[in-house]
Amino acid sequence: MSAPLSTVEMPPGTFRIGKSFTFEAGHRLPGLSPEHKCSRQHGHSYTVEVELATTAGELAGPGFVTDFADLAPFKHFLATELDHRNLHEILPFEPTSERLAQFLAGWFIQNLQPTIPGRLVAVVVRETSRSWARFDVAAQ
C-alpha cells in the first residue's frame, strides 16, 4: 500500500508548456540557384510552436507557467500579419524556417513576454509534418 497523497514531496525543477498555432503563406528563396525547387514560388501550411518555462516557485495562479489564453495576441499577429501573405514580400529577410523561427521569437519577446508570466525558451516552425526548424532563446 502506498503512502497518503499528502506525504508526496514536490521536487524542485522547471515547468515547460507549449502551444501550436497555424497559418498559410507562400514564399520563395531567391538566394538559391534557379534549379532548386525552393527558389520558385510555393506555399506551406505552417505550424508554429512556442515553448515557455518557469520554475516551480514562479508559477502564476492557480499554478500556470502562462495561461494559454494569454497567448492570443501571438495568434492574432500570425493571422493578421503573416496568414495568406507572400513572406518574401513582407519580411526584411529571406524567409527560411530558421529565420522565421528567430523572427517570431523576437516578436514574442518584444510584444508579448513583458505582459505574461513565464519565459519564452523556444520557437519551432514547421513547413510540413516532417520538416521543422527550432530557435532556442538564449537565457536572459
Q: Assess whether pLDDT exceeds 80 at residue 140.
A: no
Residue 84 falls within a domain, yes or no? Answer: yes
Residue 54 has a pLDDT of: 96
Q: What is the pLDDT of residues 52-111, one digit of tens each?
A: 999 988 999 899 999 999 999 999 999 999 999 999 999 999 999 999 999 999 999 999
Catalytic residue selected from 36, 42, 76, 84: 84
What integer is the mean pLDDT of 31-35? 91
d(CA 133, CA 119): 20
Catalytic residue selected from 38, 44, 88, 98: 38
Q: Is 118 exposed, middle or buried (0-12, 13-18, 19+ CB in 10 A)?
A: buried
84 counts as catalytic: yes
38 counts as catalytic: yes
Residue 24 falls within a domain, yes or no? Answer: yes
Residue 131 has a pLDDT of: 95
127 counts as catalytic: yes
Residue scoring higher pLDDT (86 or 139):
86
Residue 73 falls within a domain, yes or no? Answer: yes
CATH code assigned at 43: 3.30.479.10
d(CA 74, CA 32): 30
Residue 4 falls within a domain, yes or no? Answer: no
Residue 8 falls within a domain, yes or no? Answer: no
Rg of the chain, C-alpha, whole Å: 19
Residue 42 falls within a domain, yes or no? Answer: yes
Q: State percent of the chain over pLDDT 90.
A: 85
Q: Assess whether pLDDT exceeds 90 at residue 3.
A: no
Residue 30 has a pLDDT of: 87
Residue 3 falls within a domain, yes or no? Answer: no
Give me the number of domains the chain comprises: 1
Range of the domain at 87: 13-136
